[in-house]
């Protein structure tokens, strides 16, 4: 080993010490995990594909990577934020909040508003019914459908959980400036509108047909 190696190692240690990952009782394993995470974040998901001589798009693959990571981080954070409300921790809160905003939805409408598959959404609604947070009634026009509304208990849980949801949302927004938040919001809305259309109109189409909508 040469001197440059040790200089680089010391610089890496200094970066670690200046990072949020470093704590007063940090150990070598903490430094190692930080290095691994740093390396992962610096890597592009296209690198392997390029090495294998596949044609790739750096930007689009990087968007995919970042969206997937953010989804995982947000799920973990939501479970922590709603730790005092176990009835809402597994995406139930999105259904409850939707019903608060838009009452008297059918089960299918509620599931589609949340972008879920029917089986997943049905299980979430089933749990909300078991918890007594929502109630169902027959649709007057379509006897095969059920319409859902929040119960008094659901209203109470909603109001109790608002503060925790607000805190969680603030953390999820990170340290973005207000202008950055607004810009990101507009971009995410535009992207979600595109995917909502695919979800509603082409959910049974295969990927080779769906790709035509982005050309």
Three-state SS for 132? coil
The answer to whether 13 touches 26, Cβ cutoff 8 Å, is: no
Sign of the dihedral defined by the CA atoms of residues 210, 211, 214, 215, in that order: negative
How far is residue 57's CA from residue 77's CA, in Å, rounded to a whole number? 30
pLDDT of residue 161: 94
* Residue for token pair 């970066």: 15
How far is residue 10's CA from residue 15's CA, in Å, rounded to a whole number? 9
Three-state SS for 149? strand
Tokens linked to 24: 């007063």
pLDDT of residue 191: 92
How far is residue 149's CA from residue 135's CA, in Å, rounded to a whole number? 6
| Angle, alpha carbons 206-210-110 (nearest 5°) | 85
In sequence order, which residues have a C-beta less than 8 Å from that of residue 134 and are 6 or more positions away? Answer: 95, 96, 99, 125, 128, 148, 149, 150, 151, 154
Q: What is the distance, to the nearest Å, from the Cα of residue 16 to the centroid of all Cα atoms in its chain?
A: 28
How far is residue 3's CA from residue 192's CA, in Å, rounded to a whole number? 51
pLDDT of residue 53: 56
| Tens of pLDDT, residue by residue, the chain (215 residues) | 567 776 777 778 888 888 888 888 888 888 788 787 777 666 655 555 555 555 556 788 888 888 888 998 998 999 899 999 999 977 899 999 999 999 899 999 999 999 899 999 999 999 999 999 999 998 877 777 889 999 999 999 999 999 999 999 999 999 999 999 999 999 999 999 999 888 888 888 898 888 888 87
């Amino acid at each position: 080993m040469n001197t440059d190696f040790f200089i680089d190692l010391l610089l890496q240690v200094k970066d670690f010490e200046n990072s949020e990952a470093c704590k007063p009782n940090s150990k070598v394993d903490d430094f190692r995990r930080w290095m691994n995470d740093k390396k992962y974040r610096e890597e592009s998901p296209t690198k392997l594909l390029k090495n294998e001589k596949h044609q790739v798009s750096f930007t689009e693959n990087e968007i995919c990577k970042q969206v997937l990571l953010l989804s995982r981080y947000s799920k973990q954070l939501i479970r922590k934020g709603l730790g005092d409300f176990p009835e809402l921790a597994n995406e139930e809160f999105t259904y409850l909040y939707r019903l608060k905003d838009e009452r008297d939805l059918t089960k299918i409408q509620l599931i589609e508003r949340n972008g879920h598959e029917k089986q997943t959404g049905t299980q979430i609604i089933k749990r909300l019914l078991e918890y007594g947070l929502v109630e169902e009634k027959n649709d007057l026009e379509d006897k095969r459908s059920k319409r859902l509304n929040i119960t008094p208990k659901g209203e109470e849980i909603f109001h109790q959980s608002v503060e925790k949801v607000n805190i969680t949302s603030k953390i999820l927004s990170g340290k973005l400036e207000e202008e950055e938040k607004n810009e990101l919001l507009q971009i995410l809305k535009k992207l979600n509108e595109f995917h909502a259309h695919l979800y509603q109109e082409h959910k049974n189409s295969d990927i080779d047909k769906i790709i035509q909508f982005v050309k």
